[in-house]
A and B are shown apart, each in its own frame.
Chain A
Amino acid sequence: MRSLMILIAACLALGLAPQLAAAQTGSGSADAGSAAVGSAAPEALKIQPPEPTPAELRKICADAMNKSPGFADDIVKTINEDTARQHARAADAIAKNEKHVIMAYAAMWVIAAMFLIFLWRRQQALKGEIANLKRDLEAAAK
């Protein structure tokens, strides 16, 4: 289903829209179909036609591709190039993903530094408290 949708999207992007319109209005050629829809259609014919089913769209697209080998090649080339570009971008992002590695290493060092500072401050506070208590006890003993 996904590949079908990609194929249809590629067809539309490459200019199949006039041919599809022609097929829907029953006209033999794309130009004649466009003209009929654009200018002389009576009011009754302006009602939106029902959405074509995926099977119908597939048939239309396949017919168009069979009629014009160049058009089929364009679609395949476009899809291949797009896919290749997407794969290359994804591979590049994973291969050079420095962001998450830097985040992980930074998190480790930050937590370690915080723990060291916490230990050092507590040790200093305890040293001060011990000195005060000893001084008070010596003074009380005199």
Chain B
Amino acid sequence: MNKAIPVLASLSAIGFAVCIYLIFNYAPFEPALLFNQKIFYFHVAHAFMLFVSVAVCGVCSLIYLKKRTPKWDDLALATAEIAVMFGAVVLITGMIWAKAAWDIWWTWEKRLTMSLLLWLTLVGYVLVRRFAGASADRLAAGLAVFGTLGIPFIYTMVDRSDHHPQAGANGNVMTLDGPMKLVFWMSVLTFFLWFLTLVMMRVQSARAEREVRELREQGLDAGLFT
């Protein structure tokens, strides 16, 4: 087992505890959303980690398509599955927050629709890896590169008419007041550590899967399996 995993997992656990304490005891109430705004610290941090996961997956897939080195494929597979997990959290916590703040579970505005499409693309990646046979790695890599292109659209595609706040310099994150901003970036850091922990764990699994495939091939060569 990679020695960094327990260290990163412990740091993440400490970070989660500190973040929860700060969110509910230190960060002030946002004047418009009040208590509902507490969802923001984990919802948006998850969205950031979703973007990081998808970007890493896309870049690793691109390198794998170029070089065909297994370690890039392992990393792409690991980050794709983690992105599915982060994406599910973003969508579900977003829906719950939407119900609390806007009194609707879902609206087909651009950012939500694009986020759902990105998540479905990632689910498609995982399904292709599972069921597409021998060329699954290359097919999935192409899908990952395609999915990565969606990130800038999701980040920037918010109209003034949309429910979501604008992104960028005048966006919600950049205009937070001091304590809120501190707690938010603390959450992002914690989730980044959590992301690294999960990537290392999943890469370990991907290597084990590769080892199983190689041992099976050796067994076939030795006439162990029919």
Query: What residues make up the interface of A, taking CB atoms closer than 8 Å to B?
Result: 94-101, 103-105, 107-108, 111-112, 115, 119, 122-123, 126-127, 129-130, 133-134, 136-137, 140-141
Q: Which label, helix, strand, loop or mixed, suits the secondary structure of the B interface?
A: helix
B93 A94 Cβ-Cβ under 8 A: no
Q: Mark B90-129, 1 if CB is under 8 A from A, else 0.
A: 0011001101100000000000000000000000000000
Q: Which residue of A lies closest to B33 (CB)?
A: A94
A99 to chain B: closest CB distance in Å?
Answer: 8
CA of A135 to CA of B42 in the docked complex: distance in angstroms?
A: 46
Distance of B223 from chain A, by nearest CB (Å):
8
**B10 interface residue (CB < 8 Å to A):** no
Rounded to whole angstroms, the CA-CA distance of A126 and B93 in the bound complex is 33
Indicate if the CB atoms of A103 and B96 lie closer than 8 Å.
yes
Contact B224–A119 (Cβ < 8 Å): no
Q: Given the complex, which residues of B lie within 8 Å of A123, measured CB to CB?
A: 201, 204-205, 208
Task: Assess the B215–A134 pair: CB atoms within 8 A.
Answer: yes
* CB atoms of B100 and A97 under 8 A apart: yes
In the complex, whether B181 has a CB less than 8 A from a CB of chain A is no
A contacts with B: majority SS: helix
Chain A nearest Cβ from B1, distance in angstroms: 9
Q: Determine the residue in chain B with the shortest Cβ distance to A127.
A: B208
CB-CB under 8 A from B88, the residues of chain A are 111
Minimum-distance CB pairs A-B, first 5: A100-B100, A126-B208, A133-B215, A104-B93, A104-B96
Chain B residues within an 8 Å CB radius of A101: 35-36, 38-39, 100
Task: Tell yes or no: B174 within 8 A of A by CB.
Answer: no
- Tell whether, in the assembled complex, residue A108 and residue B93 are in contact, meaning their CB atoms are under 8 Å apart: yes
Query: B172 an interface residue at 8 Å Cβ cutoff?
Result: no
Inter-chain pairs besides A104-B97, A119-B202, 6 sampled, C-beta below 8 Å: A95-B29, A97-B36, A107-B92, A133-B212, A133-B219, A140-B223
Interface centre among A100, A103, A129, A134 (most CB of B within 10 A): A100
Q: Is B162 an interface residue (CB 8 A)?
A: no
Docked complex Cα distance between A100 and B40 (Å): 12
Measured between beta carbons, the chain A residues less than 8 angstroms from B39 are 100-101, 104-105
Q: Which residues of B contact A134 (CB under 8 A)?
A: 215
